[in-house]
Structure 1
Amino acid sequence: MPFRLPSLAAAFVALVGSLIVSIAPAQAAGLSTKTSVVAMSEAGYGSVWARCTKKKACSGTVYVEGAAAQKRSFKVKARSARWVTFRNTGWKARPSAVLRMTGASPKRIHQEAKVAYGTISGTVSRASGAGASGVKVELWRIGSRNRNVLVSTVNDVERNGGRFSFRVAMGANNGASATYKLHVVGTSGGERRSWWWRGNGIGGFAGGARDMGAGTAIKVTRGQKFRYVANARYASIKGQVRNGAKPVAGTEVTIVGRPPYWSSSSRVLRDLDFMSCANVYGRTTTNGNGNYEVGFLPTSTARIYAVKPAGGLWFGSGDRSWGTCHAVVNNRADTASTGRMLPLPAAGLANRVHNVGRGRTTVSVAVGGYQGPSSSAKVDRYLTVREYAKGRKILSSDVVRAGSGRKVSLGEGHYWFEIGRRTGCSAWYKSRYKNNDGYFNGLDRGFEKWKAKNHKMYRQHCRAYTAGTYKLVYVKGSSMRVVLKNAKGGSVSGRVTAKKIKPRTELMVRLTSTDGKKVYRTAMTDGAGRFKVTGLASGRYRIVVNADSWRGISRAFSGPKTVTVKRGKNKSVGTLTFRQ
């Protein structure tokens, strides 16, 4: 059918042509922009961020529909991005327009006047209580990797009616500014105090934070009409410290505040003034009538404050006393806020009464089980009471009471009660060598030569025979009894040899555990280099040999580096060869 060939050929050509037309835009694609708001200069210039994904440079012209006479050429390098500038002097009459760029899809944009700077402003006002002088507000720009920079400071804020204002650069095309935080500093009661501004997310004041990390991050945006308002208020806490009915004069009073939220970072929690618990907002001393006032405290509807007179008790809501920082903060059970603490309304807090003579519990401690031989060191009978702290290992928690007594007075809260777990004691021990002059030669040891003449050495050396035990106890009421049961500890024996005879006979062998539950124990080698470390709880220990028992400096040796111990059993590690 020859007569059909021309029609088929024509149809084929038409199909190919349509395919070429349909894929042409895809072949031209490779340039794009996501810019939708463009800040225009008075001369009618604006810029959009354009990205070229082609292997070759993207180039052509750019213009706004209706303003083709103002076309401008552009070029974007292959696989890169840059600002492309266009011109439209009639943008004020027609702010909404369509931007056309060679190789890119048409883009609808909104054109508006360029705003180079926005403002962060507000007031720092005294809501009640003692005033503050020398108030200043610092503006800090927040950077990456903690590279925070103090950008500007407004001084003598109270002389300007409490007002402050900072000018900050806006982002490209009226985008958000950089991130900032405000630091408020002032003097009240002769003490310089400071805190970081916190907002409630809707422009209101939510209080202050003592550490920068908990301060509110501030950005100026076009949605705020390029103005961020950050007002702040401060007030005071007034009260009296008594012991029974008698006012306590001249005692220190500390106002503490828990962090606004609990960080998951152990480093951040360690950096708090009271580790893992609270920060100090201010201190003062009671007058002759036991009265005090601490001002320049940021107001807050949240319960974040507590009062700590000297003497160990902590006072919160209802002036109820607690025994520890962690008890009043109650982080153990409450991760958001706590009813045990105090809010600080704009009217301030007054007429607080803190009776340090009441609210304590007399705790009697009874110890059973193995108590050590009659020749046992006091460490086996040494009682230690530590403050419970969420997220902290037992042996790193603060000691609140320690001694050989069996009766302690504590405020309400959680405590670790330990017996026979003292981590170390320091004592002077007589050297078996009558002349150690040779050891004390040189610049680094010469000033200790008096030790040689007295034949003594300073060593951390606690002989213990019990494994030690501990118990978490909630202390409450007027009196209570705590029962602990101890057990005979395990031991590790061995021998240390060295190339020289003298060093091996006065080496300290130390066994350490890093699980936060077992203490370390030590022993000195005898005249033959033998040692026996006693009083070990079951577990795995690292072996350390100290050549310099004055300073506890470890030295390398050949032999086992770790050992597993069972309570009540001895484990020999054989010979440890000390390297000179």
Structure 2
Amino acid sequence: MIVSSTLVVAVPSTAQAATGLEVRSNVVAVERPDSTGHHPLYLYAVCKGSKTCSGTATLVQGGLVKTTSYSIKGGKSGYLKAYWNKAAAQPTELGKIDAFKRTFTWTPKGASKKSKSIWLEPRIYSRRIQGQVRGPASSRIKDLQVSKWVVSGLRSSRVSTAPVGSDGRFDIGSSALGRNNSPGAAYRLSVSAVVDGTEREWFWLGSTTGSGFADGGGGWIRDAAVVRVQKAGDFQADFAYGTVSGRLTGTGSAGADVRVLTPPPSYPSRSSDRRGLDVPYCANEFGRVRTDDAGRYSVTFVPRPDAVRYRYMVDFEPAGALRGAVIISDGNVVDSCQAAIKYTRDMSDLLGFPSGSETLPVGDVSTSADQRSLTINGNTLKGGSVHDRWTTLREYSVGRKILESPIVAEGYANSSGNKTFAARPGKYWVEVGRRTSCSAWYPSIYSNNYLYHKGGERGSERWKTVGGSVPEYSTSYRYGYVKRNPPKGYKGWMYRDVCKAVGAGKYVLITVGAGDRTVDVTNPRGGTISGRVTRVGGKSNKEMLVTAYSTDGKKVLRSAYSSRSGGFVIRGLASGSYKIVVNADSWRGISRSFSGKKSVKAKAGKNVSAGTLRFKG
């Protein structure tokens, strides 16, 4: 009996027969002989209709016949088992390696016999996965290894690793073929090495037929090409890498930070995954170095396709005050990774390894190429905070929400509200007082934040706590803690993800042309949302984070935390509708359910009450 592609001992079925059996196998592999000397065969079949398909099956081969029974449930698939007797083969077939033809018959219960010609071939149980890692010899690259991975749903696991020999060759071992010599299970491959003292790893892209053709590499396992062994021979999966080199000239060229970036082979469908790229929504990083005293850089172990592919860009950040940029073809400079791909994932302007070359020469590029001075005069607000002077320069792109446009420069304006950027010709969103969030140490009525550690993944959050004037963990200093006593009425300090602003923020679209430019931007006073948080069961409603956010891609979110009485006031809101989120964890943002208003319409310069929010968690 065969049910749902699972082989069971063959016995007649008592279910009502159906005549909808379709045998789909055309080439069948001859298995090793069983204890009787017969060689099992398995033919894939589908039972069409709702009734069970049952009957008998035979491989026709002279006078030696071995009949089996089958049963497959309606609408399911399975395998019919038959046997080949080597003793009944023609003399010319006994030593044959290639396929030879036979007739397979099956007789459905209550129906006439049916037949089909099939080809038999020797069973191949496994093939090896092997290949070569090709690239320029360099003492900068050590401990080359190739790993095999399996992917199951959202989980991926490294199952084996093989060293790369001095000749560049590797052998990751045998992999089983499927039934009837069908391709084996799906794997992915990665290559890793210690490059300039740092471990690097990327995933194989190449010919899925196992021809050895290398087509570059992917930053994530989901970028990798699928490796399946096939009956034709061992699977050859070659890796190829090269070196991207060039020189920066001008101010900040010595000690500049240089990265080689590559857009993924295909962009993830989920926005959260695209945001998770090394350069959000744009590309992954395949190497990073600092320039030497002469501005020279050489980034090696970069995936290199065997065919010319324009996939690379060089991102640089000069040492000092100059703003970074991205180098594309012919030494041209653009503002950002998104600009390099024209915001449409167009790679025609990117860099590519010359045919047959292991080196991609970029040439000399000036760090100040095409830069103009852009001064923003942001009128300050009476009673505003330092965050009202936060100034951002975003690169404009058609069809992209403002808050999703890439930030090319940002920082605090001076006390007069002035901020100067270096900008290249193009269109920009200039924003004043629109910082989405910022973190700082705020005084707390609690000596620790253990209250926030109950549930979820909050145990690791204790480094935020400072009891009195002494931090619990040295990590606190890395996040800007300065040892000092808390103000009167407070017991300690906590690192809170809260950005207090008064202004609603202002954004304008401007164009930078051939000369320097000055832009005046007024930050208007924002609206407020006030209310009170209560908690059931006598739990504290103090210092809980309350956030108002919009999904229109134009308005920034604002936050506040509740007072000793549970009251809160969220300030600096532009006019519009906001959703309300209440949580007790300012770092991970683990929201909790509550009853009360879930959305509020704010108006600049006015206060709106959210009423009482009853916190349940």
Common topology (TM > 0.5) = yes
Go from structure 1 to structure 2 and tell me whether the alpha carbon gap of 1:376 and 1:452 turns closer, same or farther (over 3 Å shift): closer
Matched, 1:322 2:334: yes
Matched, 1:87 2:95: no
Task: For residue 570 of structure 1, report the CA deviation from its aligned partner.
Answer: 3.9
Matched, 1:490 2:524: no
Q: Secondary structure in 2 aligned to 1:220?
A: coil
Go from structure 1 to structure 2 and tell me whether the alpha carbon gap of 1:460 and 1:232 turns closer, same or farther (over 3 Å shift): closer
The RMSD of aligned alpha carbons is 4.5
In structure 1, what residue type is equivalent to 2:392?
Answer: T
Q: How does 1:502-517 map to 2 (within 5 A)?
A: 510-517=547-554
Go from structure 1 to structure 2 and tell me whether the alpha carbon gap of 1:474 and 1:77 turns closer, same or farther (over 3 Å shift): farther
Task: For residue 523 of structure 1, report the CA deviation from its aligned partner.
Answer: 6.0
Q: Distance in 2 between matches of 1:86 and 1:175?
A: 19
Q: How does 1:49-448 map to 2 (within 5 A)?
A: 49-50=44-45, 58-64=54-60, 67-77=61-71, 79=73, 81-89=78-86, 90=89, 93=93, 95-103=100-108, 105-126=114-135, 132-141=141-150, 143-157=151-165, 159-162=166-169, 164=171, 166-199=173-206, 203=211, 204-222=213-231, 225-243=232-250, 248-300=253-305, 301-311=308-318, 312-330=324-342, 332-333=343-344, 335-343=345-353, 345-347=355-357, 348-350=359-361, 352-367=363-378, 372=381, 374-386=382-394, 394=403, 398=407, 400-404=409-413, 405-411=418-424, 415-424=428-437, 448=467
In structure 2, what residue type is equivalent to 1:315?
Answer: I
Task: For residue 70 of structure 1, report the CA deviation from its aligned partner.
Answer: 2.2
Q: Distance in 2 between matches of 1:270 and 1:145?
A: 21
**Contact conserved, 2:527 with 2:575, CA < 8 A, in 1?**
yes
Go from structure 1 to structure 2 and tell me whether the alpha carbon gap of 1:416 and 1:47 turns closer, same or farther (over 3 Å shift): same
**Contact conserved, 1:557 with 1:579, CA < 8 A, in 2?**
yes
Q: Distance in 1 between matches of 2:615 and 2:160?
A: 59
Q: Secondary structure in 2 aligned to 1:337?
A: coil
Task: For residue 136 of structure 1, report the CA deviation from its aligned partner.
Answer: 2.3
Q: Which residue of 1 aligns with 2:474?
A: none
Q: TM-score, normalised by structure 2?
A: 0.72
Q: Distance in 2 between matches of 1:133 and 1:575?
A: 62
Decide which moves more: 199-208 or 298-307.
199-208
Q: Distance in 2 between matches of 1:83 and 1:360?
A: 73
**Contact conserved, 2:443 with 2:487, CA < 8 A, in 1?**
no
Go from structure 1 to structure 2 and tell me whether the alpha carbon gap of 1:208 and 1:412 turns closer, same or farther (over 3 Å shift): farther
Unmatched 5+ residue regions in structure 2?
1-15, 94-98, 319-323, 454-461, 470-484
Matched, 1:35 2:35: no
In structure 2, what residue type is equivalent to 1:408?
Answer: F
Q: Distance in 2 between matches of 1:49 and 1:549?
A: 57
Task: For residue 243 of structure 1, report the CA deviation from its aligned partner.
Answer: 1.7
Task: For residue 173 of structure 1, report the CA deviation from its aligned partner.
Answer: 0.9
Matched, 1:470 2:507: yes
Q: Which residue of 2 aligns with 1:455?
A: 489
**Contact conserved, 2:208 with 2:227, CA < 8 A, in 1?**
no
Task: For residue 148 of structure 1, report the CA deviation from its aligned partner.
Answer: 3.7
Go from structure 1 to structure 2 and tell me whether the alpha carbon gap of 1:394 and 1:114 turns closer, same or farther (over 3 Å shift): same
Q: Secondary structure in 1 aligned to 2:356?
A: coil
In structure 2, what residue type is equivalent to 1:135?
Answer: L
Q: Secondary structure in 1 aligned to 2:311?
A: strand
Decide which moves more: 442-451 or 314-323.
442-451
**Contact conserved, 2:249 with 2:364, CA < 8 A, in 1?**
yes
Q: Distance in 1 between matches of 2:44 and 2:544?
A: 70
Q: Secondary structure in 2 aligned to 1:294?
A: strand
The number of residues matched between the two structures is 538
Q: Secondary structure in 2 aligned to 1:267?
A: helix
Larger helix percent: 1
Go from structure 1 to structure 2 and tell me whether the alpha carbon gap of 1:149 and 1:491 turns closer, same or farther (over 3 Å shift): closer
Q: Secondary structure in 1 aligned to 2:340?
A: helix
Identity, % of aligned positions: 30
Task: For residue 109 of structure 1, report the CA deviation from its aligned partner.
Answer: 0.3
In structure 2, what residue type is equivalent to 1:419?
Answer: V
Write the deviation string for residues 385-414 of structure 1: whole angstroms up to 9, x where unpaired. Answer: 346699777179557311113321135666
Task: For residue 172 of structure 1, report the CA deviation from its aligned partner.
Answer: 0.9
Write the deviation string for residues 120-168 of structure 1: whole angstroms up to 9, x where unpaired. Answer: 3332222688774432222334x431444434433133x1354546432
Go from structure 1 to structure 2 and tell me whether the alpha carbon gap of 1:427 and 1:129 turns closer, same or farther (over 3 Å shift): closer
Task: For residue 111 of structure 1, report the CA deviation from its aligned partner.
Answer: 1.1
In structure 2, what residue type is equivalent to 1:72?
Answer: K
Task: For residue 437 of structure 1, report the CA deviation from its aligned partner.
Answer: 8.0
Write the deviation string for residues 69-110 of structure 1: whole angstroms up to 9, x where unpaired. Answer: 222132224526344022242176491121112225201101
Q: Distance in 2 between matches of 1:555 and 1:152?
A: 42
Q: Distance in 2 between matches of 1:542 and 1:520?
A: 9
Go from structure 1 to structure 2 and tell me whether the alpha carbon gap of 1:106 and 1:494 turns closer, same or farther (over 3 Å shift): closer
Q: Distance in 1 between matches of 2:67 and 2:451?
A: 78
Q: TM-score, normalised by structure 1?
A: 0.76
Task: For residue 115 of structure 1, report the CA deviation from its aligned partner.
Answer: 1.5
